[in-house]
Amino acid sequence: MNLFDELYVLGKCHARHTIWVFSDLQQAKFENAKRCLDLCMEDYIGLGAPAEMLWYLGDSTEGADYHELLRMTKLQEDAFGSLGVPLAYASGNHDYDYADLCRRQGRSDFSMPFYEMVQQHPGWRTTADCEETYFKFELGNYMVYFFCDHIAHDNSWCSTHNRIRWGKESYPYGQENWDRVRQDMEACEKPHILTAAHCAFPGGNRDTEFLGMIQPLPLRTRLHLYGHSHIGEYNCPKERIFSEIQWVDWQDIPQVDVASFENIRGSFCHSVMLQIYEDDSLGLFFRNHDRKEWCSAFFPKPYSVEEPGNFGRRAYLSWAPWEGKERPEDPGPGFGAKA
């Protein structure tokens, strides 16, 4: 037993909630997907299958071979369904590969097998409608926001990679949509907020657009979790290939890259165990499933809802993310505290 094992066991004693977070199984070849999934599941079950919920942050499948997409969907539904706990899903860019093929063939019809399966699976969560940009749910003293890629019912527009992928002239959402999202976050009655998506906020691995339009995030936002940028892959994040933890640009909010659930593009099959403790503080344990070991841990500093500080208030009113948006009135001392 190494130090990370000891910390993980200690954390389990104080955890009120435990969530298994992963993304990007993303294999066009069924055999590769099954090998990686079996490896991860065997290791997770060996830990005692400790999570009360699964958070899957996109790219469950890859490619436009519809028969293979159905096989991949069934493979994962059987595996994750066997655990008997809820799953929350944020769609990612490769979930729309078949829709892109349909578009290029001039078809308005399309299908997203994994996304549609999650919609229909009892107790599992994703957006109720494929055009929606996010969904939310409560978890203890946290409100959790999942931001999702999205597509028109008639395939006339689509947003992936956190930007418009096609149909710019028809895309219905502008800055006002993301302002409403931020206002909803600010108005929530929970003392803490967690966010998750396939992509990062500005400051994370790989560039982003729409999530930055939500900023500034409420000071109650404790953490953002995302996938998309496979740890160890040289092609996309380039010099940041091994960067797991970053901060949201302009804000003291950490964000964590959980990708990927495969060891072909990524350096190993990777996931994160999120623990929420009795005092609402957080612990994250990074798992190397190939080696069946914890490879690092991260404990974000607690946020005090009583004393966010004058600097936090000034920053909220004056930082660059407000440029071009209607600035709020000064919320006064104690900004961020629960009413």
pLDDT tens for the chain, 339 residues: list them.
789 999 999 999 999 999 999 998 988 889 999 999 999 999 999 999 999 999 999 999 999 999 999 999 999 999 999 999 999 999 998 999 999 999 999 999 999 999 999 999 999 999 999 999 999 999 999 999 999 999 999 999 999 988 999 999 999 999 999 999 999 999 999 999 999 999 999 998 877 889 999 998 998 899 999 998 777 677 776 677 788 899 998 888 999 999 888 888 888 889 999 999 999 999 999 999 999 999 999 999 776 443 444 445 555 555 555 556 655 555 555 444 433
φ, ψ (nearest 5 deg) of residue 134? -160, 165
User: What is the pLDDT, as a whole number, of residue 317?
Assistant: 54
Cα-trace Rg, the chain: 20
The fourth-level CATH superfamily of domain 3-303 is Metallo-dependent phosphatases (3.60.21.10)
Whether 169 contacts 189, CB under 8 Å? no
What residue spans of the chain are helical by DSSP H?
3-14, 30-46, 66-81, 97-104, 113-120, 175-187, 310-318
- In this predicted structure, what is the pLDDT of residue 338? 38
Query: pTM of the predicted model, to two decimals?
Result: 0.90
The residues near 281 (Cβ < 8 Å, ≥ 6 apart) are: 299, 300, 302
Would you state the pLDDT for residue 80? 98
Q: Facing residues of 148 across strands?
A: none
pLDDT at 327: 58
Residue of 89, 88, 81, 79 lying closest to 41 (CA atoms): 79
What local confidence, expressed as pLDDT, does residue 225 receive? 97
How distant is the alpha carbon of residue 191 from its chain centre? 20
pLDDT of residue 28: 84
Residue at token pair 């066991």 = 9
Give the per-residue pLDDT at 306: 39
